[in-house]
Amino acid sequence: MPENLPWRTVWVTGASTGIGREIVLQLAAAGVKVAASARSAERLAGLGGNVLAVPLDVTDASSTRTAVDLIESKLGPVDLAIFGAGTYAPVDVNSINPADFAHMMTTNYMGVVNCLAALAPRMTEQGRGHISWIASVAGYAGLPKAAAYGPTKAALINLAESLYPEFRRQGVRISVINPGFVETPLTAQNDFEMPFLMKADEAARRTIEGLASGRFEVAYPRRFAAILKFARLLPYPLFFKLIDKAILK
């Protein structure tokens, strides 16, 4: 954990489990004021009394505005936001359910957009702040089982790239976080071997370190991210051969 973290107040969504929960715990332990949001008030209560629990369904745009009002009234202006609320379910190609695709896009993508819309105007008015969200290396390229999940993460990467230049001119930093496979309740659904699988606490530490360094993209494990970025550059016959051998073996 870097010393002298550059934030006084941090807002984390998706804070009840996985990477989000570990980020909250590590930041709070470092003395940062943290507001934690998730749908489950009971799970948020388990984060401890030094964390401001703000139950929230990020798919409700009105509720996100109310949440930001509450956080800033209790803790002051948000210096860093980490939008990590999301969901995942593997897709069976023999049973395509449009509702699953719509649910993931609404939660993973529009959930970030709702939070961004509620918070960003306050930061641009102040001329400072840092907003980030958790996408995935699955957003680099289409991967088996991720037909509903991957497009939402690709959209989040594109969103960050699109907004970064204009927000930077107004003093607000944008970052995108692209984890590989991390041991969480969501990845526990996978029935295949997950390469470079990481623990959630290690993923949280790397996230915090990357954001503190000011990087636009925080991706880990670096070797896995590099492999997928390289694979994306291959001609499609080679790309599909690699994916078939690595994932569908």
Tens-place pLDDT, residues 221-231: 999 999 999 99
pLDDT at position 49? 87
Token pair 């699109």 in the structure block, residue: 162
Measured distance CA(41)–CA(37) in Å, rounded: 8
Helix (H) or strand (E) holding 210: helix 200-212
Measured distance CA(25)–CA(27) in Å, rounded: 6
pLDDT at 145 over 70: yes
Measured distance CA(21)–CA(43) in Å, rounded: 10
pLDDT at 6 over 80: yes
Tens-place pLDDT, residues 34-76: 999 999 999 999 998 899 999 999 999 999 999 999 999 999 9
C-alpha closest to that of 75 among 12, 23, 22: 12
pLDDT > 70: percent of the chain: 96
CA distances in angstroms from 159 to 1, 52, 75, 120, 178, listed in the order given: 28, 28, 28, 14, 13
Q: Which residues are known to be catalytic?
A: 149
Classify each residue of 185-221 as buried b or exposed e, where b means 16 or more C-beta atoms within 10 Å of its C-beta.
Answer: ebbeeeeeeeeeebebbebbbbbbebbbeeeeebbbb
Q: What is the pTM of this model?
A: 0.95
Average pLDDT over residues 170-182: 95
Out of 3.60.15.10, 3.40.50.300, 3.90.550.10, 3.40.50.720, which CATH number does the structure's domain 9-246 have?
3.40.50.720
Tens-place pLDDT, residues 98-123: 999 999 999 999 999 999 999 999 99
What SS3 class is residue 171?
coil
pLDDT at position 11? 98
Token pair 């715990």 in the structure block, residue: 25
What DSSP assignment string belongs to 59-116?
Answer: T-HHHHHHHHHHHHHHH-S-SEEEE------PPPTTS--HHHHHHHIIIIIIHHHHHH
**Domain boundaries along the sequence of the chain:** 9-246
pLDDT at position 191? 67
